[in-house]
Amino acid sequence: MANKKKFKVTFNMLLFLIWILIFIGIAATSPVFLSPSYLLNVMLRNIIEIGMVALPMTLIIIMGGIDLSVGNIMILAATLGGLAAVTYGSAVAVIVTILTGLVCGLINGLVIVKAKISPMVTTLATMYLYLGISRGISKGSSIYSFDFATTMGTTSLFGIPVQVWIYVLLVVIFTVLLAKTTLGRKLYSIGLNENATQYAGIDVGKIKIAMYIICGLICALASFIWLGRFTSIKFDAGTNFNMKVITIVVLGGTSINGGIGSMIGTIIGTLIIATLNSGLTVMNIPIDVQTIVHGSVLIVALIAYAVVNSRAKKKKLIKIEAAPKQVASM
Amino acid sequence: MKKTILELKDIVKSFPGVLALNRLKFDLKSGEVHAICGENGAGKSTLMKVVCGVYKPDEGEIYVDGVPQSFSSPLDAYRNGVSIIFQETSLFEEMTVLDNIFLGHEIIKKKAGLKLLDYAAMRKKATEIFDRLNTKIDLNACIKTLGMAQKQMVEIAKALTFDANIIIFDEPTASLTQREVDALFDIINKLKQEGRGIVYISHRLEEIFQICDRVTVIRDGQYISTRNVADTNKDELVADMVGRAMTNYYPKAQTDIGEEIFRVEHYYDDGFLKDINFYVRKGEIVGFAGLAGCGRTELMQSICGFTGKAAGKVFLNGEEIEIHNYNDAKNRGIVYVSEDRGKYGLIVDMSIEQNITLPQLQNFANNMSIIDTEKEAEIAGKYLKEFEIKAPDTEFLVANLSGGNQQKVSVSKALALNPTLLILDEPTRGVDVNAKAEIHKIISELTRRNLSIIMISSELPELLGMCDRIYVMKDGSIAGCFDRGEFTQEKILSIALD
């Protein structure tokens, strides 16, 4: 087709534009926002854990699933790791943390795939399960950071916080994984039509379990950074985390019904939320107004998404003509 | 003089890529039973769905009692005296008989300013209707506890509560026993005597001669003929249904059939499939005939490893093989093309090339699992050209293709796996006449390349035209087998219906 190369407005471009506008708007009113140290040490550092977990969450939502328990996996991993550190030291704590993430993800995946329970309900249940276990084990008191977590949460490499490096590395891996690899293609096809994917001979169950495990592992990784950054945590710290992660993914144009979305969208979504969070704070805007702004930006993005997609989806059907009307009847 | 109570003129209805109804006409008089018959996919059910407001016709008029009508929904049609009793009943399984009968048009009483359900009145009316039908059904029973025949009675009762003057039965006997069929016919006769008009959709010719007054034959969405049942016979109707040009549709290639390559012995599963034995030779097209629900699809899906446990022996090239899941089958060159393109066959929101490569993505990726999209486009382009798939390019979404072209993509996807045995389940369902002929040509060509094909089809002429051998299935077992030259529509039907 001749017009194939024609410039098309994609949703990601619009989203990027929204981010730039917000960024410029905030920078214009409070110049302090623009200083590199503020951008790196406040804006990015504050979003890293959420942004990190949003990466596997994008994979899960694209394949038609969801994980409401991510924040609680993170806190449970930090709790068990922190307690292990007290008795057995930092090395054991690292292993315990990672194992916790793995097992939590495995439980989610197994229940969803083997017992065939909807991901929404399963992870809602495990959200409470992991929350309860965190509370029980910590007996409601604070858990303190250990060496490895402190390193992950507070040090810098070449002037950039170490967690930003990790995030960038993960971004590259997840973007390539989703956009270029066979696994990425399979995730889209599961989200679009699970039956047909199964009928192509693809082991859908195995892929699903693997994705929930990867998500659990990234939660464990995020828990080091979170614990290091705050030096201590309590069992209920992860409660808002779940919704924030899902908000970013949805803001990034990933369909909650699965099959549609991109990692780039999620990354821009992360930047938008990060900019809003830090920017509005710099501008001394009260927290209630900030929440309203969040909601409004999400609505604007979703409408933009709907508009772009309804235009792209106009079907080019080949029209079939009926026989000409007959004059004589029988 | 009986008056015309329903008249359809020039009805046209198309679905994406398929012209389902092409200038159809039909009329119904009071006090008659008028059959609509035609092969599977001829457009019988679509026509009635247009009448009762499930589908909106693209063109044409519907007259009820001489007044032009266009119903917005089945409920709207009910309220205007047109009722349809669907093939699969449309009752709510978890609700009671009484609630189902009055759903959407409950009798209301006013009490203290509130609108309340008047159960007493509803119960009285329902009892009256069932008395008239000479049927006893517990009004408080849950629908799911009823048998098929009783569910149909509930549907009929529901139609009568609207005092429907026009009642459409869509293949009502498909899942009834002979005794239940007799009872149903009694009721239809009673309704007829009350002066109501009955539209009776069926492809069982015996029933038409038993109960109908007139019969209209449609084929490929087109009107063919209307005859008085008393003045016609089975052969005439079959000729109308099948059409005379049928030989053109089946360009069977002359091939040399080689040695046996696939054999199934004493195959059964827990409950349905019983002691199945069959074989397929090189370059042969083997058909599987039978009524809906006879187990053809279940058998093939079980052999391919899609469904649970089954027992028996399966041989490929003389060697016994075990298939635990579809990957085992696929890797051995046994490939299945589903009857339901949209649900199991294709991912319609993906492109043509992405669909074709999905079952073997690893072959289109490097050792880092990165997909080589140029390689994908290359193979898809090859099939696009070879099978004349009508699409601008290989990145075109499958959803935007017509049924016939979608089916060609489905077949391409299977062929890209280089199969030795290709199992085609209803390869021309929901495909228009021309695309059918093209698909038949493709299938024929494949046997020239020494491919063996199993073809399941509900359209007998298709099997008769294409196959070298036909197995007839009934109730989960193989009831007969015919070679080309000895099979006829009558022989196969007599075994399948039996």
Predicted confidence at residue B432, as pLDDT, reads 66
Would an 8 Å CB–CB cutoff place B324 in contact with chain A? Answer: no
Asked if B222 and A1 come within 8 Å (Cβ–Cβ), the reply is: no
Question: Average pLDDT, stretch A60-82?
Answer: 93
User: What confidence tier does A211 reach under pLDDT thresholds 50, 70, 90?
Assistant: very high
Asked if A320 and B370 come within 8 Å (Cβ–Cβ), the reply is: no
Does B248 have pLDDT greater than 70?
A: no
User: What confidence tier does A31 reach under pLDDT thresholds 50, 70, 90?
Assistant: confident
Same domain assignment for residues B378 and B418: yes
Predicted confidence at residue B286, as pLDDT, reads 92
Does B356 have pLDDT greater than 60?
A: yes
Asked if B347 and A199 come within 8 Å (Cβ–Cβ), the reply is: no
Structural domain including B179 reads 4-244
Predicted confidence at residue A311, as pLDDT, reads 60
Does A319 have pLDDT greater than 50?
A: no
Asked if B23 and A180 come within 8 Å (Cβ–Cβ), the reply is: no
Scan for tokens 């007599």, then name that residue: B494
Would an 8 Å CB–CB cutoff place A193 in contact with chain B? Answer: yes
Does A90 have pLDDT greater than 80?
A: yes
Q: How far apart (Å, rounded) are the C-alpha atoms in residues A63 and A260?
A: 9
Contact B424, B337 (CB under 8 A): yes
Same domain assignment for residues B301 and B339: yes
Tokens for B402?
């017509």
Asked if B354 and A203 come within 8 Å (Cβ–Cβ), the reply is: no
Asked if A200 and B23 come within 8 Å (Cβ–Cβ), the reply is: no
Q: What is the pTM of this model?
A: 0.76
Contact B193, B185 (CB under 8 A): no
Question: Average pLDDT, stretch B430-446?
Answer: 80
Would an 8 Å CB–CB cutoff place A210 in contact with chain B? Answer: no
HSE-up of residue A48 (Cα within 13 Å, Cβ side)? 30
Asked if B346 and A188 come within 8 Å (Cβ–Cβ), the reply is: no
Which of A6, A63, A190, A193 best probes binding to B when mutated, by most B CB atoms within 10 angstroms? A193
Residues 162-221 of B with CB under 8 A from A: none
Asked if B371 and A316 come within 8 Å (Cβ–Cβ), the reply is: no
Last residue of a domain, one of B224, B244, B264: B244
Asked if B371 and A203 come within 8 Å (Cβ–Cβ), the reply is: no
**Predicted-assembly ipTM surpassing the 0.85 threshold:** no
Residue type for position B458: S
CA of B331, closest CA in chain A: separation in Å? 10
Q: Is the dihedral of CA B330, B335, B340, B345 positive or negative?
A: positive
Would an 8 Å CB–CB cutoff place A3 in contact with chain B? Answer: no
Give the tens place of pLDDT for each residue, B29-43: 888 999 998 776 677
How many other β-carbons are positioned within 10 Å of the β-carbon of residue B118? 17
Mean pLDDT for chain A overall = 86
Which residues of B fall within a CB distance of 8 Å from A315? 16, 399-400
CA of B120, closest CA in chain A: separation in Å? 41
DSSP B332-345: TTEEEE-S-IIIII
DSSP state of B364: G
Same domain assignment for residues B262 and B220: no
CA of B20, closest CA in chain A: separation in Å? 10
Asked if B347 and A197 come within 8 Å (Cβ–Cβ), the reply is: yes
Contact B89, B152 (CB under 8 A): yes
Least confident of A81-85, B198-202, B292-296: B292-296
Would an 8 Å CB–CB cutoff place A188 in contact with chain B? Answer: yes
Does A328 have pLDDT greater than 80?
A: no
Which stretches within A181-313 are classed as H helix? 182-192, 194-199, 204-230, 241-251, 263-282, 287-312
Among candidates B344, B349, B390 on the partner chain, residue whose Cβ is nearest the Cβ of A259 = B349
Asked if A323 and B327 come within 8 Å (Cβ–Cβ), the reply is: no
Which residues have C-beta within 8 Å of that of residue A109, sequence separation ≥ 6?
A208, A209, A210, A211, A212, A213
Would an 8 Å CB–CB cutoff place A284 in contact with chain B? Answer: no
Last residue of a domain, one of B244, B259, B284: B244
Would an 8 Å CB–CB cutoff place B31 in contact with chain A? Answer: no
Predicted confidence at residue B40, as pLDDT, reads 63
Predicted confidence at residue A267, as pLDDT, reads 95
User: What confidence tier does A312 reach under pLDDT thresholds 50, 70, 90?
Assistant: low
Residues 269-298 of B with CB under 8 A from A: none
CA of B367, closest CA in chain A: separation in Å? 10
DSSP state of B254: P
Asked if A181 and B369 come within 8 Å (Cβ–Cβ), the reply is: yes
Predicted confidence at residue A308, as pLDDT, reads 73
Task: Name B424's bridge partners.
Answer: B337, B455
Which residues of A fall within a CB distance of 8 Å from B364? 182
State phi, psi for B407 to the nearest 5 degrees.
-65, -35
Residues 446-465 of B with CB under 8 A from A: none
Predicted confidence at residue A278, as pLDDT, reads 85
Would an 8 Å CB–CB cutoff place A285 in contact with chain B? Answer: no
Q: How many structural domains does chain B have?
A: 2
Same domain assignment for residues B238 and B279: no
Least confident of A32-46, A192-206, B351-365, B458-472: A32-46
Which of B326, B347, B367 best probes binding to A when mutated, by most A CB atoms within 10 angstroms? B347
Would an 8 Å CB–CB cutoff place B58 in contact with chain A? Answer: yes
Last residue of a domain, one of B179, B210, B244: B244
Does B455 have pLDDT greater than 90?
A: yes
Same domain assignment for residues B240 and B271: no
Same domain assignment for residues B204 and B308: no
User: What confidence tier does A207 reach under pLDDT thresholds 50, 70, 90?
Assistant: very high
Q: Which of A311, A323, A284, A240 is nearest to A74 (CA)?
A: A240
Asked if A1 and B393 come within 8 Å (Cβ–Cβ), the reply is: yes
Same domain assignment for residues B297 and B423: yes
Give the tens place of pLDDT for each residue, B132-145: 777 788 888 888 88
Same domain assignment for residues B227 and B305: no
User: What confidence tier does A330 reach under pLDDT thresholds 50, 70, 90?
Assistant: very low
Least confident of A131-140, A218-227, B230-239, B282-291: B230-239
Does A329 have pLDDT greater than 70?
A: no
Contact B61, B82 (CB under 8 A): no
Query: Which domains are seen in chain A, by residue range?
Result: 6-310 (1.10.3470)
Residues across chain B: 498
- CATH label of the domain that carries residue B236: 3.40.50.300
Question: Average pLDDT, stretch B93-121?
Answer: 85
Which residues of B fall within a CB distance of 8 Å from A317? 16-17, 400
**Helix, strand, coil percentages for chain B (3-state, nearest 5):** 35, 30, 35
Asked if B390 and A182 come within 8 Å (Cβ–Cβ), the reply is: no
Predicted confidence at residue A26, as pLDDT, reads 86
Same domain assignment for residues B380 and B437: yes
Tokens for B351?
């492109």
Same domain assignment for residues B91 and B162: yes
Count CB pairs under 8 A between chains A and B.
98
Same domain assignment for residues B224 and B255: no
Which residues of B fall within a CB distance of 8 Å from A4? 393
Task: Name B226's bridge partners.
Answer: B216
pLDDT top residue among B432 and A84: A84
How many other β-carbons are positioned within 10 Å of the β-carbon of residue B331? 12
> Crossing angle of helices A70-88/A147-154, nearest 10°?
130
Question: Average pLDDT, stretch B386-399?
Answer: 84
Predicted confidence at residue A3, as pLDDT, reads 42
Give the nearest chain B residue to A196 (CA atoms).
Answer: B344
User: What confidence tier does B246 reach under pLDDT thresholds 50, 70, 90?
Assistant: very low
User: What confidence tier does A161 reach under pLDDT thresholds 50, 70, 90?
Assistant: confident
Would an 8 Å CB–CB cutoff place A314 in contact with chain B? Answer: no
Same domain assignment for residues B212 and B312: no
Which residues of A fall within a CB distance of 8 Å from B371? 180-182, 185
Would an 8 Å CB–CB cutoff place B369 in contact with chain A? Answer: yes
Asked if A185 and B371 come within 8 Å (Cβ–Cβ), the reply is: yes
CA dihedral A110, A113, A115, A117 (to 10 degrees): 110
